[in-house]
Chains A and B, each alone.
Chain A
Amino acid sequence: MTLALELAQQALLQAGFVDGLAEFARPGTFAEVVLRGLSKAAIYVMIAAGLTLIFGLLGVLNFAHGALTMIGAYLGGLVMVLTVAQGTGPWARLALFFVAMAVVFGLLSALGGSIEVRLIRPLYDRPPIYQILLTFGVTLVLEELARIVVGFYGLQPLAEWQAALGTIPAFLETSQSLGPVSVRGLALFEIFLGALTVAAIWGFLTRTRYGLFIRAGSEDSEMAEALGIDVRRVFTVVFALGAGVAGVAGTLLMWDPVWGASVPLAAESLLPAFVVVIIGGLGTFRGTVVGGLIVGLVDATTTWWFQNVAVTWTWLPEVAIFMILVVALIVRPQGIYGVEEVGGH
């Protein structure tokens, strides 16, 4: 009796799998999953971009990156909550969002720059582990400070900041239809912003004089110094820039109900950022973009399978990201575009 039941269950599961496959392969569904994947990828690239910039030049794996994103989310939310009133129109809200982004970028760059000058600079001649340790300590301090301030103003540090989520314009919150596909406006906005960030950083690295300094410094910092570039100042600028980009990503996350501004956001954003950066190859910007795309698409696919087909593993979407990491490190330890030397002993 029980055996028959089990067999029936198994058959049902298999049927579900085949049906799921058929449903998944339908163009409409597939396009929807890809769009969702792209929006996730945009977020992953944005939170990882600063990390990879900093590692590429300074060789510092910045554990405080997630904390900076979290602070960016709160600051961005603060600007929005203070400026947006009940009657503010959607376009004005969007404009204010870009103002908030600029403010956050400025403030976090300043914070990042001072962290580099005061705390990390004395550690360059020590083994790389010490820089991980230091930034880990900075994370603890920043997180606890955020907890104090947030708690002081009567907000729940562990829950998402609802007031900030409420400042999102209506047309981003509702579903928009693109031909046969319907997708949330926010997802499209995220893809747009992600592409903008990638283009901006790419342009900065390849088209400006400072970008040239940075690329020269990543290649060979001693040689760059010998050619008259003030490498120490470039280090500071890059760290500030990386922190600023982390803050910008945080500002975007503040609007996304999946993430939201909360203190645990620090760890939640740090871990996928690590995965993305390592898959792509530590310190290569191109690799980070590709890594973000891979992780975003895999994440969206596994999430779809979990939601629509009777997959009994609730942990699948979350584990999938780290499984990619483990597999990627086994197959290609230095990452897709990584160089063997970087990040080793």
Chain B
Amino acid sequence: MYLVVVGLLAIYPAIYHLLTQSPLGEVAVTVLPRMETMVAVLYFSLFAMSFDFISGYTGYLSFGHAAFYGTGAYTVLLIANGKVPLLGPETPFLVALVVGAVLATVLAVVIGLVSFRLTGVYFAMITLGFAQVLYVFVRDWDYVGSNPRDGIALSGARGFELGVPYVDQLTVALGTLTGDTLALAGHTLGTTTVSFYAVGVVVLLCFAAMQRILHSPFGRVMVAIRENEERAEAIGYDTFRYKLGAFAISGFFGGVAGGLLAGFKRSVTPESGFYFLTSGDALLASIIGGFGTLAGPLWGHLFDETVREFLSKRGQGGGLLPYLEQTLSEEFLTTELVGGLTVEGFITAALNGHASLYVGIVFVLFVLYVPDGIVGTVRSRLGGRVARRLPERLWGER
């Protein structure tokens, strides 16, 4: 099953390319997310997965998870700008990525040591408190750059290169402007597409690692803590250690996700890194996709981003608004509804860039009526994991 999903994602660039060229192009551009968005979906999904790893599996809502994302992103950029002692600006991206992730892990252990003395609502609040302290701190720390409130960007017109360090053939540059193009079997892959694959490989590796941990005895204990912590303790597990370990692992992957954000965007702001609404977005992705299913956040965030892009009217990205403006007649658009409000005015006011409204409504509906999320519901409908059930459905029991 995972192979199918990975395969689908892998051929997405080709599909996108084909459909936008086809007679249906107009519609395809409108409905499908752009390639840049898909890269963002990949690395943010990894962050949402790391959030789900701790929150969905142990039941401890880590509301300050953005701290790890921000740490990863800031570390990578600071190293590249030569602001970190011992690590010069020539440090390979992959090394910086790992350093950022390790720092995030250390941070997770520190926060965890304090926070896991608490449970429930208090745990969510204290992690939020830590993240906000870091957010305010980073926002006003002028060491990171001349204007810390606007975040930091990579100095110079360089880009990051992802791959095996010191081996040129196994390295590709990331980014829409600075990335590599790749000629393969007569086709040239664009910079974004190459970044998509490169980021995708890292995300896939991290996903596999987390999946492996969750299916190990360690992961079973995590679920046991979620279901009944006292019982897990009574059986003899030192739950504090397990929680701390899980939090550290989750912080590590959160840091990797942040590093990938920095690698692709070449810049980060305090808002996109540390602010509590970033954790909120991860929460959104996890709930819509399926809380406590590792693959869920990917689908949840894909949905989130698709709706957001669909309802914004940015550039060539397509979206509903330019599409409506092109297809609907001038007459209809200028029809008055009530008191001087034209159809066009209404569409602009209600749709333009206001995707949060609709995503929020969908989120509320999911919490109320689909608490297991997309993946969780599909699983319970099929009576098991999709990977196991689908073949049985198709070819009968064996």
- A interface list, Cβ under 8 A from B: 61, 119, 122-123, 126-130, 132-134, 136-141, 143-145, 147-148, 151-152, 267, 271, 274-275, 278, 282, 313-315, 318-319, 322-323, 325-326, 329-330, 333-334, 343-345
CA distance A152 to B129 in the complex (A): 35
CA distance A274 to B371 in the complex (A): 26
Q: How distant is A311 from chain B, measured CB to nearest CB, in Å?
A: 12
Of the candidates A123, A314, A315, A325, the one whose C-beta lies within 8 Å of that of B129 is A325
Of the candidates B121, B130, B141, B276, the one whose C-beta lies within 8 Å of that of A128 is B121
B129 touches A319 (CB 8 A): no
A329 touches B368 (CB 8 A): no
Main secondary structure of the interface of B (DSSP, over half): helix
Pairs across A and B, CB under 8 Å, 13 listed:
A119-B368, A129-B61, A137-B361, A139-B360, A140-B360, A141-B360, A267-B277, A315-B141, A325-B125, A326-B126, A326-B133, A329-B126, A333-B117
Q: Contacts A325-B129, A330-B114: A148 and B349 contacting too (C-beta < 8 A)?
A: yes
A134 touches B357 (CB 8 A): no
B280 interface contact, C-beta 8 A: yes
Of the candidates B61, B277, B284, B371, the one whose C-beta lies within 8 Å of that of A132 is B61
- Complex interface: chain A residues within 8 A of B84 (CB): none
> Which residues, 331 to 369 on B, are CB-close (under 8 Å) to A?
349-350, 354, 356-357, 359-361, 363-364, 367-368
A318 touches B357 (CB 8 A): no
B133 touches A140 (CB 8 A): no
List the 4 shortest-distance A-B pairs measured between CB atoms, nearest first: A140-B360, A144-B357, A137-B364, A141-B360
- Complex interface: chain B residues within 8 A of A148 (CB): 349-350, 354, 357
CA distance A280 to B203 in the complex (A): 42
Of the candidates B114, B118, B125, B284, the one whose C-beta lies within 8 Å of that of A274 is B125
Q: How distant is B283 from chain A, measured CB to nearest CB, in Å?
A: 7
A145 touches B357 (CB 8 A): yes
Of the candidates B129, B140, B287, the one whose C-beta lies within 8 Å of that of A326 is B129
Of the candidates A122, A130, A278, A323, the one whose C-beta lies within 8 Å of that of B122 is A278
Q: How distant is A191 from chain B, measured CB to nearest CB, in Å?
A: 27
A138 touches B364 (CB 8 A): yes
- B interface list, Cβ under 8 A from A: 59, 61, 114, 117-122, 124-126, 128-130, 132-133, 136-137, 139-141, 229, 276-277, 280, 283-284, 287, 349-350, 354, 356-357, 359-361, 363-364, 367-368, 371
- Complex interface: chain B residues within 8 A of A271 (CB): 128, 132, 276
- Complex interface: chain A residues within 8 A of B120 (CB): 128-129, 343-345
Q: Contacts A333-B122, A343-B120, A345-B119: A275 and B129 contacting too (C-beta < 8 A)?
A: yes
B118 touches A333 (CB 8 A): yes
- Complex interface: chain A residues within 8 A of B287 (CB): 133
- Complex interface: chain B residues within 8 A of A123 (CB): 367-368
B114 touches A344 (CB 8 A): no
- Complex interface: chain A residues within 8 A of B61 (CB): 129, 132
Of the candidates B140, B229, B360, B368, the one whose C-beta lies within 8 Å of that of A144 is B360
B354 touches A318 (CB 8 A): no
CA distance A315 to B140 in the complex (A): 6
CA distance A152 to B363 in the complex (A): 25
Task: Tell me how many residue pairs across A and B have CB atoms closer than 8 Å.
Answer: 121
- Complex interface: chain B residues within 8 A of A130 (CB): 367, 371
Least CB separation from B286: chain A residue: A133
Residue of B120, B140, B229, B363 with highest tally of chain A CB at under 10 A = B120
- Complex interface: chain A residues within 8 A of B117 (CB): 330, 333
Of the candidates A144, A267, A315, the one whose C-beta lies within 8 Å of that of B137 is A315
Q: Contacts A144-B356, A326-B130, A344-B119: A278 and B125 contacting too (C-beta < 8 A)?
A: yes
Q: Contacts A136-B283, A140-B359, A344-B119: A119 and B133 contacting too (C-beta < 8 A)?
A: no
Least CB separation from B114: chain A residue: A330
CA distance A136 to B282 in the complex (A): 12
Residue of B129, B284, B350 with highest tally of chain A CB at under 10 A = B129
CA distance A322 to B124 in the complex (A): 14
Least CB separation from A342: chain B residue: B121
Of the candidates A143, A267, A329, A334, the one whose C-beta lies within 8 Å of that of B276 is A267
A136 touches B280 (CB 8 A): yes
A61 touches B350 (CB 8 A): no
CA distance A345 to B59 in the complex (A): 9
CA distance A132 to B284 in the complex (A): 12
- Complex interface: chain A residues within 8 A of B364 (CB): 119, 134, 137-138, 141
Q: How distant is A307 from chain B, measured CB to nearest CB, in Å?
A: 15
A133 touches B354 (CB 8 A): no
- Complex interface: chain B residues within 8 A of A140 (CB): 280, 284, 356-357, 359-360, 363
A147 touches B367 (CB 8 A): no
CA distance A278 to B119 in the complex (A): 13
CA distance A152 to B349 in the complex (A): 6
Q: Contacts A148-B357, A267-B276: A315 and B139 contacting too (C-beta < 8 A)?
A: yes
Least CB separation from A282: chain B residue: B121
CA distance A266 to B129 in the complex (A): 17
Q: How distant is B137 from chain A, measured CB to nearest CB, in Å?
A: 5
Q: How distant is B27 from chain A, measured CB to nearest CB, in Å?
A: 26
Q: How distant is A126 from chain B, measured CB to nearest CB, in Å?
A: 7
Least CB separation from A63: chain B residue: B280
CA distance A319 to B133 in the complex (A): 5
- Complex interface: chain A residues within 8 A of B350 (CB): 148
A322 touches B133 (CB 8 A): yes
Of the candidates B121, B141, B356, B371, the one whose C-beta lies within 8 Å of that of A61 is B121
A147 touches B132 (CB 8 A): no
CA distance A123 to B367 in the complex (A): 9
- Complex interface: chain B residues within 8 A of A129 (CB): 59, 61, 120, 124
CA distance A122 to B365 in the complex (A): 12
A329 touches B124 (CB 8 A): no
Given A137-B367, A330-B114, 12 more pairs with CB closer than 8 A: A123-B367, A129-B59, A132-B61, A134-B364, A140-B284, A145-B357, A315-B136, A315-B141, A325-B126, A326-B129, A329-B122, A345-B229
Least CB separation from B349: chain A residue: A152
CA distance A136 to B287 in the complex (A): 12
- Complex interface: chain B residues within 8 A of A139 (CB): 360
B280 touches A322 (CB 8 A): no
Residue of B132, B283, B284, B349 with highest tally of chain A CB at under 10 A = B132
- Complex interface: chain B residues within 8 A of A122 (CB): 368
Least CB separation from B368: chain A residue: A122
Q: How distant is B122 from chain A, measured CB to nearest CB, in Å?
A: 6
CA distance A79 to B368 in the complex (A): 35
